[in-house]
Amino acid sequence: MKQKTNIHSLTLQDLKNLAIKLGYPSYRGEQIFRELWISGCESFATMKQIQQGFREYLEEYYSFDIFQSYKMQKSSDGSVKFVFHLFSGNSVESVYMPWLTGEDDKISRTTLCISSQAGCGLDCKFCATGTLGLLANLKPSEIAGQVKICEKEIGEKITNVVFMGMGEPMLNYTNVEKSIKILSDEKLTKISRKKITVSTSGVTPGIRKLSKLKPPVKLAISLHATTNGVRDKIMPINQKSNISELMDSVEQYYKTTKMALTYEYIPFKNLNDSDADAKRLAKISKRVPSRVNLIPFNDISFTEPSGVAESLKAVSTEDLQEFANKVRSNGGVVTVRATFGSDIDAACGQLALSERENG
């Protein structure tokens, strides 16, 4: 029996085309889209605006439930880790991060860090997900569905989405692009594309593809080294596309989109934290309008790393700030990123807990 397509994998245009194909006006497709993503309906039966015959067709030919199950774990800092169990048997994780402002602790924005793959095949030495290897590409429904479930459970609208969870988005490009179209449909805007960021470890063909997306989204480069020697050591993908090739694709992305970029950089003690690294990092960041996010190294000892991973050591808080100042003194724009969810293994680089539990 042919596996049913999940209804959440269809874009607004897909749904309009389906309605027309079945002899209904195109606005019926728009109604379905609204029911799924704006109203948050939880079954075909609850789509009260849709004619019974159309609902029965959807029930017969499409599946509805996105995940087999999911669970949540709340951090003391207000962040929440979601573990989604897929029908394939794999699991993925997302992290909800509320950003507070002012003395009244009101939420100024809500960010969801979402996954695009179960596991990851790139084997970056500082990332727990990479120890799993690539298990599966997520479908558009499984990518965008992380936002739907989070909003339902948290009771807050997600304002910002970052593709910085499990997996390399550019190696599941088609499904990632479709999920972006679902989450940021121009007519029924759920999330502004200016508030969607796709992070890549340096898959240059994917960067060039993403540059053609209209309207564009933000791009983040997971850099973490300023020389090919160090980057080869901690990020094997650099051996396929070195820093020079990566920067060529970055410049093309900016030329096409006019969108400022972000560079993500984890300073490791006595590896990539020298004065020369700070100078080179500032120089790289000035090639096109961009900023540098400095990220504290988060412990991934729960994955029992060995080899290169075991040798990586975090710099102190003081040295992290000093490195930031050195980059600034060389003309770079720098933010030292706050860490969310470290007490629940939900901080940057730590997403692999569910697989360890189920392993």
How many CB atoms neighbour CB 6 within 10 A?
Answer: 18
Give all strands (DSSP E) within the chain, no chain letters. 5-6, 62-63, 69-74, 80-85, 91-101, 106-113, 117-120, 133-137, 160-163, 196-200, 218-222, 261-265, 290-294, 334-336
Structural element, H or E, at residue 324: helix 317-329
DSSP string, 127-194: -GGGGGEEEEEPPHHHHHHHHHHHHHHH-S---EEEE-SSS-GGGGHHHHHHHHHHHT-SSS-SS-GG
Q: With 0-12 CB in 10 A as exposed, 13-18 as middle and 19+ as buried, what is 330?
A: middle
3-state secondary structure of 120: strand
What separation in angstroms does the CA of 259 have from each of 163, 182, 189, 253, 289? 17, 21, 20, 8, 8
Nearest in space to 180 (alpha carbons), one of 135, 136, 147, 222: 147
From CA 244, how far away is CA 27, in angstroms rounded?
Answer: 48
CB 60 within 8 A of CB 22: no
CA–CA distances in Å: residue 294 to residues 95, 224, 287: 19, 9, 18
- Which residue in the block uniquely carries the two structure tokens 């897929």? 86
Q: What is the DSSP letter of 314?
A: B
d(CA 124, CA 233): 9
Residues forming the active site: 93, 348
